[in-house]
Amino acid sequence: MKSYDVAIIGSGPGGYVAAIRCAQLGMKTAIIEKYSTLGGTCLNVGCIPSKALLSSSHHYEEATKHFEDHGIEIPGEIKVNLEKMIGRKQAVVDQTTGGIDFLMKKNNIDVFEGLGSFVDATHIKIEGKDAQEIEAKKIIIATGSKPSNLPFITLDKERIITSTEALKLKEVPKHMIIIGGGVIGLELGQVYRRLGAEVTVIEFMDRILPTMDAGLSKELNKVFKKAKCKMMLSHKVQSVERHGDEVIVKAENKKGEVVEFKGDYCLVSVGRRPYTDGLNLDAAGVKMTDRGQVEVNEHLQTNVSNIYAIGDVIKGAMLAHKAEEEGVFVAETIAGQKPHIDYNLIPGVVYTWPEVAAVGKTEEELKADKVEYKVGQFPFRALGRARASGDIDGFVKILADKTTDEVLGVHMIGARCADLIAEAVTAMEFRASAEDISRMSHAHPTFAEAVKEAALAATDDRALHV
């Protein structure tokens, strides 16, 4: 039987990063993955493939709608070759997952393919290609999450689908009905809207992106409406039925009326659930929460002292970069170091166009906590760089403590916000004030100037370009 210092179950961003950090710290490390490729949901059927399709569909939209404005004329009809687009997406995925294989070899990490399950607190049975049993002093559970469903919906994975199937359709839908106005539904909805599908988003809450700052939700809702997406807010789905190639969705609006929607595809995008199936946690004595998560303490340690858990399988936002931070945190904790994670400073991003990004507290949270704050907001349309590229939708909003001027939250929607949010995270990590940011030189012309201007607006309403 092979023995290890650390064994990790699951090879997503949390698991493979934990493995690398453990190996860097001198531990003999193994990683167990039930699928034939490493990388988990994010690299195989999540973050990476969805961004590839978002990029391809964005190019198509630019070519069909905006190239002419730039003086670029393309003779003949511009067509979508969906098979080639999906093929490119898969090539990106294959290259990325192959990169993880390389990193495992580089760091001398043993990779086992098969379903890992606990025999007891220090032994893992692997069933599959590499069927055997291994022993480990420490074990990290990093098994991630799976798409959630509503109890009355039968997913046939052909017409009534999850995000996994939506990433490999063989045709552009005529009418895609999306249940759920969260990140995944909106990103994939924008992909297929750009490619020509009619898109209807049905959301139970009174706004899309309900966990983000309300100002961002309102602005992105405008963008989707401008793209002629039907945004059905405050609608409770009652039934989803398939009849041949047609899907019929019935939902109740806030007036109590039942509304019927007909399409050829229905994407069920109502969040994700922790995935612990087949782990046999009882054999190790690991406790679960009533929400199906693995229960952990502030050190991400389960009730069994040598077993840890990270990522989507525990409490907190289901984000790849959160899982990565936790993977490093646990590796360093096992090594006797004293690492730190500030969960308030883990940014959230929506990769629509315009992009949406946020870190820290929302206005709603500050009001609920009775914190006195001030707001500085700056529109992208006032930026020279935004006008030059034609990306004028959106704004940057900075929330700062009314007394100390410390930045408490930054919320932005606009071009390149997925990258711009890192500036806000850096500033908040060092407890910067709005004035600190406003006094830093930002290159001109750039989208980043919107951050400086919003900081100026929060500092005695001093924005220069509005």
Residues 173 and 250 in one domain: yes
Is 155 contained in some domain?
no
| Tokens 């309102």, residue located | 218
Instruction: Tell whether the torsion through CA atoms of 394, 451, 57 and 11 is positive or negative.
Output: negative
CATH code of 248's domain? 3.50.50.60
pLDDT of residue 240 exceeding 90, the answer is yes
The answer on 183 and 322 residing in a single domain is no
Q: What is the DSSP string of 35-73?
A: SSSSSHHHHHHSHHHHHHHHHHHHHHHIIIIITGGGT--
Q: Are 122 and 284 contacting, i.e. CB atoms less than 8 angstroms apart? A: no
Above 90 in pLDDT, residue 133? Answer: yes
Rounded CA gap, 279 and 125, in Å?
A: 10
Give the CATH number for residue 434: 3.30.390.30
Mean pLDDT for the chain? 97
Write down the catalytic residue from 59, 66, 444, 465: 444
Expressed as residue numbers, the domain containing 381 is 345-458
Where does a domain end: 298, 319, 341?
Answer: 341
Q: Report the domain count for the chain.
A: 3
Residue 466 pLDDT more than 90?
Answer: no
Q: Is residue 442 annotated as a catalytic residue, yes or no?
A: no
Q: In this structure, are 175 and 37 located in the same domain?
A: no
What is the predicted pLDDT for the residue at 417? Answer: 98
Per-residue pLDDT of 362-399, as tens digits, reads: 999 999 999 999 999 999 999 999 999 999 999 999 99
Per residue in 280-313, pLDDT (tens digit) is: 999 999 999 999 999 999 999 999 999 999 999 9
With 0-12 / 13-18 / 19 or more C-beta atoms within 10 angstroms meaning exposed / middle / buried, residue 161 is: buried
Among 318, 341, 364, identify where a domain stops.
341
Do residues 278 and 245 both lie within one domain? Answer: no
The DSSP code sequence of 262-315 is EESEEEE-S-EEE--TT--HHHHT--B-TTSPBP--TTSB-SSTTEEE-GGGSS
In whole angstroms, what is the distance from residue 89 CA to residue 188 CA? 14
Percent pLDDT > 90 in the chain is 99
- Does the pTM surpass 0.85? The reply is yes
Same domain, 31 and 133: yes
Q: What is the mean pLDDT of residues 204-216?
A: 97
